[in-house]
Structure formats: structure tokens, C-alpha cells
Structure 1
Amino acid sequence: MTRPGTGRRKQSATDKQVAKQSKGTHPKSMVIRIGAGEVGSSVSQLVKDVREVMQPDTALRLKERRANKLRDFTTMCGPLGVTHLLLFSKAESGNTNMRLARSPHGPTLNFRVQNYSLCKDIMKSMKHPRMGLTEFQVAPLLVMNNFITSDIDREKLGEAAPPKHLEKLVTDMFQGLFPPIQPHTTPLHTIKRILLLNREPPSEGDNGTCTITLRHYAITTKITGVPKAIRRLYAAEKLMGSKEKKKRALPNLGALDDVADYMLDPSAAGYTSASDTEIETDAEVEVAAPVTRKVLSKKERERMTARDDGQKSRSRSSRPKVEKRAVKLVELGPRMKLRLTKVEGDLCGGKVMWHEFVSKSKAEVKEMDRKWEQRNKEKEERRRVQKENIEKKRKERAENGGAGEGAGEGEDEDEEMEDFDEYDMDDDVWHDEDGDVAEEAQDEDMEDKGDDA
């Protein structure tokens, strides 16, 4: 039983088992808005759009409350197997910020959302928006461009060049958001979305920061090398078994006497423009065509394996057929332009590893490292005292322990003490009273000055 007066909830054995099993599975994420009633409707809709992008391994129906703190979400990352947190917030100055954190020990990347567009705004600007539900059953294909600066560009930029470890960290953080794709085993037809992250080339006035542009597309394919009339018949065959009723997609053959008139007459399939007939060869790929094969009996399979020249005796029809398809990307949204401002060593806190506006000398860095080492030693000492107190209580209970109801209560206390052993009172202190708060205030002042500049 939990002690009265404490708001801490005991972690069950089932939650512990799920947390252990989830370590080797695909990465999972939670997209959260900090300050549910203060961010506004636009940022709230942006959070919902980003959850759609992170499907299927994300908490799609997560509901935040005004009373929720960041601690409430971080404590549930372990039982739920969540590996990444995307935190959206809005500052008093009106800037929208995004934090990308890795659970449970960080690091955390702080981005400023310079501008963004919602999914509904993108769909309104398109003539034929893509509205499908099957695209979100598999994680998107992640494509990253220009994240590593070449040695030639580093020589040109000089001191303004971004640090190599910073670029490597940002690359690893975004790559860890989605499960890796095995090119030899992953079927191509399952990949239906693509997430494009393009880093703008660094310039002399960027202070070594990273500016990333995010785009989200749906992958569509179209058969090439086939007349439009046959393509319309092929599309009509698909619509026959579906519940959708699109009369425009079905060809009207009522006024024709023979199907040859429809196939040979170029105007029968409708008006054909140059864009419909000529497709760029760069967008064409060769994929395996879906063909039906005869199911062989056991005797036929034995005969095939008994032949020495079994591969040579196969007919040409049994060879894998290949067809050409044109790949087209349809934007789904949202769009975001992110600017990296700060990197923290822990989960939404800890030592500042890099800052866009604040630079420290070597002496200040050494002093900061010394303070953090002292703080870690004090933290380890508190944990040691906690463990000694727990062991002391266990020994006292073992000496004075009884049977019956007391044994059952003792088991509950053992589970509670195991949870208390993992819990550290210092984890509730997110920022130091003197050092970190002053440093954060200085960071905010520097960010505001950077915006004004």
C-alpha cells in the first residue's frame, strides 16, 4: 500500500515488464503541448498534425490538461516504452518553440519554429489534395539532406562553421525518431510516405546553428508506357469492387459500337495534354509487377527440384516481370522551419552543451563543469543514504516480522521500497535555485536581443 499524503503512484509489475520488453522494439514518441490553455488554437492544431506525421508509433489521442506538468509525461515514458518526446510551447514574446528530447537521459535539442503551415492550409491550396488512411499505417521514409558540412565549406566558413559533434548529434536525434528500413527485406509497396528534412547551407552570420526545413509527402505511383485508354480501364476495374463512386473516372462506352473504337480513337479517352503523355524519365522506376502464379502440387514441386536443369527449364512467363512506374509526391503537410538555439545534456534540463547566443570562455566552462561534478556527487550521496535507510527498514521488519496479514503487507512494502529505490528526490528539482534560473534568464534575454537584432 502506498503511504498516505504522497502523490506518487506505485509502478506495477506489469508496467515494469512492458518497460523491459519495449527497449528492443521500434522507437515510440509522444508529441505534447506544454501549457494546454496558453499555446493557442494554431499551435494545438500543429501538434495534431505532427502526431499524424509520427504515426503509427506515437500517442495519437493523447490529451493534455492544464494541471499537467512535464514530470507527468516523463515518468510514463518508461512504462509505455516511449523513446522520444516532442514538446511544443509558446513563449510570452509570442515565439513558438519545439524541444526534441530522448528518454530517459537526454539529450534535448531546443528549436525555434520560425514559421509553419498547417495541413488544412496546404490542402486548401491544392487542386487535388491527397486524402487517404492507408498511408499512415507504416512509418514514413526519412530523407535528410545537407546535414553534414563538407571540409571545403568548413575552410571557407572558418570559425563560423558549425561544430562537427553538433551536426552528428542533430543527425542521430532525427534518425532515431523512426525505425530503420532494411532495403533488402522491406517491401516497396508498404512505403507510402516520405519525410524530407533539408538543412539550409550555413552562412557566416548563422553562429554555427542549424536551420532545418520539414516537408511531409505522400508517395503515389502511375504506370507509364501504357495508353490513357487502358489506364482508364485499369482504374475502372479497381473502382468496381470499392465503395467509392467516381463517375468521372469511368469511361463512357455507351455511344460506341465496338471496344476497338475506344482503344484506337485518341479522342475517345478524353482530352490528352502534353503533361499526361510525356513523363520525365527521372521520375520513372522499375518495380516488380504483381503477377499471378500457379500453385504447384507436391509432386510437381518434387519434379522441379529433382531436375538438374530446373532453372533452365522454366518458362519465360515464370520469370519476374518488371513494369515502369512514375513516382509522384503529393504534399500532406505540415510545413515547419526550425532553427536550433540550444542543446542540453539531460532530459529537458541539465548542463548546456551548446547555445546559439551565449558563448563562454574556457575558464567559465571549467567552473561550470566543476559545479556539475559537485552536484552529481551530492546526488549520488543522497541516493546512497536512501538505499541505506531502505535496507535498515527491511532488516527491522525482518526481525519484527510475523505471519498472516503482516506477511502480505510486507510484500507490498517491499514493492514500494523497490520503487522508492529507483526514485530520487533530486529529480523533482528541474533547475537550481541560484545558478540555472539565472542562466535561463540570461539565455532568454540573449534570445530576445537576437530577435530584435
Structure 2
Amino acid sequence: MAKSRTKKRTHVGASNPKFKAPPAGRSAVQDPKSMVIRIGAGEVGSSVSQLAKDVRQVMEPGTASRLKERRANRLRDYVTMTGPLGVTHLLLFSRSDSGNTNLRIATTPRGPTLHFRVEKYSLCKDIRRAQRHPLGGGKEYTTPPLLIMNNISTPGADANSKVPKHLESLTTTIFQSLFPRINPQTTPLKSIRRVLLLNREPATEEDDGSFVLNFRHYAIVTKAAGVSKQLRRLDAAEKLFSAKNRKGGVPNLGKLEDISEYMIGGENGEGYVTDGTSGSEADTDAEVEVLEDAPRRVLSSKARAAKLESGDKGIEVEERVERRRVKLVELGPRMKLRMTKVEEGLCSGKTMWHEHIHKSKQEIKDLENRWEQRKQEKDARRKEQKANVEKKQKERAASGAKNKKDDAAGEEEDDDDIEMNGNNSDLFEDMMEDDDNEMDSEGLAGDAEEALNALMGDEEWEDEREEIAG
């Protein structure tokens, strides 16, 4: 019997990550969603296009990972779809006429927008090529990364500083809103597999008004603490041997007299050393305590039987705490972002801060008055457009009622025409029944025959009539 088809693309019950339940400790309703877009599909170049794909991978799983940009798409097209799709942030990569790569981070639907210039960047493939043991693709991207921000706020900054304090707070809030919030009490540590680090470079005396961020992306790798590298190798080899049921992977101990020569090292120094001088992890690796998800039973069989005889069916459970070393492996990409401008709206609106352009209080006041005037003009145009729409709707309603009235009058006229046509037919019948106006079909036929005889002659007419009759 043929197997029934299971729809896996759009149905809720299918194996679609979009419809799966959120991990423990996270809220699916409030989780932000983003779109990483390259503006000017064929004009930005292959490197910037790959950079957008790498950043899209960093933002997973709460991003449009299969987004395809077209040359005809404009920013308005994406902004229009943010509402129906529930998109909260837009990350826009573009390239200016001078060749600079720019990044805009905008919150929908009303902004604000942070403008960055990407001074330097390295793609994921460049990071992997530079590593000796790059980390392969695993389950790191099934959960969002942990955001770590360093040195974003400057001590002693205020509203009159070159980089005002409210700008630092705004930047912190926007970057925090890119990823879902976590609850340290309920979020399991195993669900945190990546780290996104944003480190602000300290401003120099020559460039005091700068706001430069270093963008780094790492994967979290943990190993059991208190276990030497040799034991881990033996454990990994045993798992490999048992899983694939083949020889290989186990170290060759045939030339050793005792296992201690492999674990500690022989007198000649050719063995592995586990005293910390070599073969162990670096001392800078951090250690954390991880609570095991599956608790273990600690009661013996006799104690369990005694509890069952006494009627107590409860089983004591021990929560095992394991110490593990934490190591970070860089995944990429790397970016050096310099903030150039902050706008009030979504990629448009009043400039709140600019790196190079500084205005006086009078210029700021004039700018405020100009924006207020623009706002009043815009509101007036909206009111006028609304009044025009209502007027047109009333006119359509009135014309519709008039058309209905004309249609009703036309139907009455058609009824009168039908009645008049009926009277004419009666009059015609009366005329036909009148003796004076009765038509004699035989007389008309005789007159026609006489006329033909006169034209053609009697003999010719007789021959023609015989041919017709034949």
C-alpha cells in the first residue's frame, strides 16, 4: 500500500522549524524577527552580498534566511511587508557611489535608524580558512545567540558630550531588541550555543567624537573539566569504535608495558604528560558548573525494596552537577562599524545625531520649526485628501441612486412600448379583416404573369416556364 503524503512546507503539524515550539525559557510571542537585505542587488558586489548572507546566518533562527532580493525591489516594498510578516528590525546593506559599504539598522514601523559605515570586514569563509581546526556546521544556529556588549556606555558622559549619553542608551536598547530575552532561572545552558560580542573601541584624543563597534561572532564549545586529554581521546576512540564497529581510533599501546606510561609519561619523556605542562587546556579556559537535565536514582536495591514494603513509593533523586570548560571558536563574520548618523524615523526623518555635522542651538531651533511646519503641511494634505475621498464616495452613492431611478423609469417606458406595440398589432389585424383593404393574392399573381408575358412574349415565357417546371 502506498504511503500517504505528509505536507512538510506549510502545515502546522509538519516538521517545519517555523511552527515548532520555542525552547524552554523563551517566549515565541515577543521574539523579534529581522530581515537582512542588500539594497541594490547587482550593484553592491559579490563580497557585500556574501556579507549580508553571513549576517543573516548570525541572526538565525529569527530571520528570513531564504530571502531573495530582486533588482526591482525598493525599500518601500520591504517596509510594506514588515507589518503582515511581523518583522521588527531591518538590517540594510548598501554601497555608496564612493565605494563605502554601509549598514543601517532600523526598527519598524517608526524607527529610529542607526547608520554605520563598515570600515573593515571579514567573511565567514576567510575566518575558517585562517583557523587550524574550524568548527563545522552543527546545531549552533537552531537557537539565537547570546548578546554581550562591552564598553558601550562611557563613564561621565552627559547630554553635552560629543557622544551624548542618550545615544549610548538608544544604541544599547536597539541591539538588545534584536534578540529574544532570556530568563537565567529557566533557560537551560545547553540552549546557548553562540555568542555575539559587540565591543566599543575607546575613543582617542584625535577622534574623540567617534562611536566604533567591533562585531564578533563565536560558537561555545564545552569540554569536561578535570579529565586529561588522553582520557578524552580514549573515550572518543571507544565511542567511535562502538558506533562504527570497526578498528581504528584507539592509540597503539603495544610497545608500552603499563597504561601509566601513556597517561603520565615514561622515563624517556616520550609519553604524554598530564601535569599541566603539556597536553592540557590553557589555564585561561573558564570553568562553569552545569546541572544535568536527567537526574539519577541513588537508592540501592535493598533500600528500594524496604521503601516498597513500608508503602513509601517515593524515590530519592540526586541532581548531578558537572564542571565543564568553556571555549569560544570564532564563526564569523567580523566587522568594524563606525556610527555616522542617527535618524528619528525609518530611514528618513529628523537627524538626531551626526558624527561630523554639529549645529548650534539656533540652527537646531530653526530646524525644529522647519520640521514642525512640514508636519503641519503634511497633516493638512491628509485632511484634504480625506475630505476628497469622502466627497467622491458621496458622489458615487448619489450617482448610484440616480442610476437606479433612471433604470426604474426606463423599465416603465419599456412597458408602455410593449403596450403600444400590442395596440398596433390589433389595429393591423383590424385592417386585414376589413373587406376594402383585403389583399387578393390571386389578383397579384395574375398581374405579374401578364407583365412577364408582355416583356418576354408568350412563346418564350411558355418555354421558360416548362424548364422551371421540369
Q: With the length of structure 2 as denominator, give the TM-score of the two structures.
A: 0.69
Distance 1:360 1:254 in 2: 77
The CA deviation at 1:253 is 6.3
1:22-41, aligned counterparts within 5 Å? 24-41=29-46
Deviations 1:300-346, CA, capped at 9 Å, x for gaps? 9xx89x999x8xx94xxx32111211100000000000001011111
CA contact (8 A) 2:217 2:331 kept: yes
State the one-letter code of the partner of 2:211.
C
The verdict on how the C-alpha distance between 1:392 and 1:160 changes in structure 2, with shifts beyond 3 A counting, is closer
Partner in structure 2 of residue 147 of structure 1: 152
Partner in structure 2 of residue 77 of structure 1: 82
Which segment drifts farther, 179-188 or 237-246?
Answer: 237-246
Deviations 1:274-308, CA, capped at 9 Å, x for gaps? 35325426611111235553599xxx9xx89x999
For residue 129 of structure 1, give the secondary structure of its aligned residue in structure 2: coil
Deviations 1:337-359, CA, capped at 9 Å, x for gaps? 00010111110111111111111
1:162-173, aligned counterparts within 5 Å? 162-173=163-174
The verdict on how the C-alpha distance between 1:232 and 1:207 changes in structure 2, with shifts beyond 3 A counting, is closer
The CA deviation at 1:133 is 2.6
Distance 2:66 2:264 in 1: 51
Partner in structure 1 of residue 191 of structure 2: 190
Distance 1:246 1:208 in 2: 63
Partner in structure 2 of residue 386 of structure 1: 385
Partner in structure 1 of residue 120 of structure 2: 115
Deviations 1:67-115, CA, capped at 9 Å, x for gaps? 1111111111111111111111111111111111111101111111110
State the one-letter code of the partner of 2:148.
V
The alignment yields a C-alpha RMSD, in angstroms, of 3.6
For residue 104 of structure 1, give the secondary structure of its aligned residue in structure 2: coil
For residue 213 of structure 2, give the secondary structure of its aligned residue in structure 1: strand
Match of 2:290 among 267, 283, 287: 287
CA contact (8 A) 2:261 2:271 kept: no
User: Is 1:127 matched with 2:135?
Assistant: no
The CA deviation at 1:382 is 2.4
Partner in structure 2 of residue 345 of structure 1: 344
Which of 1 and 2 has higher RCO (CA within 8 Å, sep 6+)? 1
Distance 2:247 2:90 in 1: 42
CA contact (8 A) 2:127 2:333 kept: yes
Distance 2:104 2:245 in 1: 42
Distance 2:392 2:164 in 1: 51
State the one-letter code of the partner of 2:372.
E
Percent identical residues: 57
State the one-letter code of the partner of 1:122.
I
CA contact (8 A) 2:298 2:318 kept: no
Deviations 1:210-244, CA, capped at 9 Å, x for gaps? 10001000000011112334322433455468789
For residue 183 of structure 2, give the secondary structure of its aligned residue in structure 1: coil
For residue 349 of structure 1, give the secondary structure of its aligned residue in structure 2: coil
Unaligned 5+ residue runs, structure 2? Answer: 1-26, 403-470
Partner in structure 1 of residue 376 of structure 2: 377
Deviations 1:128-167, CA, capped at 9 Å, x for gaps? 001123000000000000011112xx49xx9764201111
CA contact (8 A) 1:256 1:262 kept: no
For residue 215 of structure 1, give the secondary structure of its aligned residue in structure 2: strand
State the one-letter code of the partner of 1:188.
L
Distance 2:32 2:243 in 1: 35
The verdict on how the C-alpha distance between 1:134 and 1:240 changes in structure 2, with shifts beyond 3 A counting, is farther
The verdict on how the C-alpha distance between 1:244 and 1:140 changes in structure 2, with shifts beyond 3 A counting, is farther
Distance 2:380 2:241 in 1: 72
Which segment drifts farther, 389-398 or 361-370?
Answer: 389-398
For residue 180 of structure 2, give the secondary structure of its aligned residue in structure 1: coil
Distance 1:160 1:167 in 2: 11
Which segment drifts farther, 225-234 or 63-72?
Answer: 225-234
Larger Rg, first or second structure (1 or 2): 2
The verdict on how the C-alpha distance between 1:370 and 1:224 changes in structure 2, with shifts beyond 3 A counting, is same
State the one-letter code of the partner of 1:41.
S
State the one-letter code of the partner of 1:186.
T
User: Is 1:331 matched with 2:336?
Assistant: no
CA contact (8 A) 1:230 1:263 kept: no
Partner in structure 2 of residue 210 of structure 1: 211
Deviations 1:406-428, CA, capped at 9 Å, x for gaps? xxxxxxxxxxxxxxxxxxxxxxx
The CA deviation at 1:25 is 2.7
The CA deviation at 1:362 is 1.5
The verdict on how the C-alpha distance between 1:294 and 1:364 changes in structure 2, with shifts beyond 3 A counting, is same
Equivalences, count: 363
Distance 1:344 1:242 in 2: 57
For residue 383 of structure 1, give the secondary structure of its aligned residue in structure 2: helix
Distance 2:247 2:44 in 1: 41
Distance 2:246 2:374 in 1: 67
Partner in structure 2 of residue 105 of structure 1: 110
